[in-house]
Homo-oligomer: A and B are copies of this chain.
Amino acid sequence: MKKVSDAVIRRLPKYYRHLAELEREGVEKISSSELSKKMGLNASQIRQDFNCFGGFGQQGFGYYVKVLKGEIQSILGLKNRYNAIIVGMGNIGQALASYDNFAREGFFVLGAFDVSKDLVGRSVKGVSIMPMEQMKGFVEQNDVNLGIICTPEQYAAQTAQMLSDCGVKAIWNFAPIDIQMESTIVENVHLSDSLYILSYRINEQMRLDDTKE
């Protein structure tokens, strides 16, 4: 498979979500123009994106929802199983440990780690909280390939390094700081970004309302 651009890859989860929704609604077939309306993209963009992976359809015929969803699921690697650990079991860590939706797609949280003596030894929804020193052994024994960072901002970089040293190949970072690593895959989640977009929109709306008056 040839190298696909980052922008296309970042749209794949959105396609997957919309197709899963169509499947749940019982829709069997959809044209690229119907899909484009639903997703707020234009139809030629959709056809171009799909062409990066060899097409999936015949011009003028549309797509079978279930087949297309399956293809994108494969491309995203969502037919595999991933073993995850959470580091930092404050509020966000505990919320993620309790969130069932990830397991539906093959992401299993097998354990959690924290520096706090109050937290170590407890468990959240069946996920045990262990001391940091046990991380390396746990990662090796359980074939952990995903580390979820939920520590405070100031510990995030060293936690990422520790996960990488333990052999974890991919990091999902919820600490509000950008982590960049050479040899480890990182996705930085910035919850505030969408909050700031909202405040922009609220102010834009207020400016429009002022102009109308």
Contacts and interface: CB of A to CB of B under 8 A. Distances in A.
Interface of A: 1, 9-10, 12-14, 16-18, 21, 75-78, 80, 82, 90-92, 94-95, 98-99, 101-102, 105-107, 145-146, 169-170, 172, 176-178, 185, 187-203, 205, 207
B202 A82 contact: yes
B199 A77 contact: yes
10 contacts: A13-B194, A17-B176, A21-B178, A77-B200, A78-B199, A91-B99, A92-B95, A102-B192, A185-B202, A188-B194
A203 to B, nearest CB: 4
Assembly of this chain: how many copies?
2
Contact of A189 (B9, B145, B178, B194): B194
A75 B200 contact: yes
A10 B75 contact: no
B17 A198 contact: no
A91 B101 contact: no
Contact of A178 (B17, B75, B92): B17
B196 A78 contact: yes
Contacts of A16: 196
Contacts of A187: 194-195, 197-198, 201
Given A95-B95, A194-B172, A80 B17 contact: no
B169 A203 contact: no
Contact of A193 (B14, B101, B107, B200): B14
B92 A169 contact: no
A164 to B, nearest CB: 13
Contacts of A146: 198, 202
A174 to B, nearest CB: 9
A24 to B, nearest CB: 10
A40 B99 CA distance: 32
A141 B51 CA distance: 53
